[in-house]
Amino acid sequence: MGRKERREREQKRESRALKHSAEKRKHMMIAVAVFASVVAIVGWSAYNFATMDTTQISGAPFGAGPLNSDHTHTGILVKIFGDTFPFHEVGYQVQSEWIHFENHDGTTIHRHATGVTLGFLFESLGIELTDECYVFPNGQRFCTNEDYTLRFFIDGVEMDDIRNHIPMEDGRILIAYGDESEEEITAMLAELNSMELVR
C-alpha cells in the first residue's frame, strides 16, 4: 500500500508538472503571436509613413516631397512703389508647414520639403501672383500696365514669371512693382543681397 500511494503521488506530481509545462508553453505561444502581430503592425505603419504620397496629405503642395525632406532659407524682398511688403506681420507668418515666414521675420523664406514652389507660398498667404499681377489679400491689385511694371529677379537675373521657381538655399528673390529706373532696381538688388537670412 505504501508503494502504491507513492507511485500515485509521483504520477499526480508528473501530471501536474506536465499540465503546468503545457500551460506555460501555451502562454508563451500566445505572447509570441501577440508580439509578432505588434511588430508587423509597427513595420507596416512605418513603411506606409515612409512611402506615403504627400499629395494625399491635406494642404500638401502638388509635386512636393515628404514634409521635412528639405530645409532651405531664401531671401526675398517685395517692393510695391518702393514700399517693402510686410511679410513680418502675423497674418503672413507660418501659414503652411511646407513653406513659410517665421519668428516675425519677413525676409527669409523657410522651405521644408522638396519641390515646393513660390507659387504655393504666395497662395498659402492669400496673395494672388501671376506673371503680370501682384494682388494683396484684400484684393488691391498691382498689375503691369503702360505706366507701371511688375518685375521679378532671381539671384539678380530678371525672369518673366517665378511661380514655378523652387526657392534654393541662400537664393535671393526680388519682386518690384512701379516705374523704377535700372539704378533703382540695382539699389533694391543691393538691399536684398545685404539682408542677413534668418536660419
Residue 34 confidence (pLDDT): 73
Q: Is residue 99 part of a domain?
A: yes
pLDDT digits (tens, 9 = 90+) for 37-48: 777 777 776 665
Residue 59 confidence (pLDDT): 72
Shared-domain flag, residues 42 and 78? no
Q: Is residue 31 part of a domain?
A: yes
Residue 55 confidence (pLDDT): 44
Mean pLDDT in residue range 132-139? 97
Grid cell for residue 123? 497662395
- For residue 162, pLDDT beyond 70: yes
Residue 54 confidence (pLDDT): 46
Q: Is residue 60 part of a domain?
A: no
Total tally of structural domains belonging to the chain: 2
Distance CA 150, CA 129 (A): 10
The CATH number of the domain holding residue 158 is 2.170.130
Q: Is residue 156 part of a domain?
A: yes
Residue 189 confidence (pLDDT): 98
Contact 125, 95 (CB under 8 A): yes
pLDDT digits (tens, 9 = 90+) for 23-71: 777 777 777 777 777 777 777 766 655 555 444 455 789 899 999 999 9
- For residue 191, pLDDT beyond 80: yes
pLDDT digits (tens, 9 = 90+) for 72-84: 999 999 999 999 9
Q: Is residue 12 part of a domain?
A: yes
Contact 196, 169 (CB under 8 A): no
Work out the mean pLDDT of the chain and round it to a whole number.
88
Q: Is residue 46 part of a domain?
A: yes
Shared-domain flag, residues 105 and 31? no
Grid cell for residue 179? 516705374
Domain range for 161 is 72-194
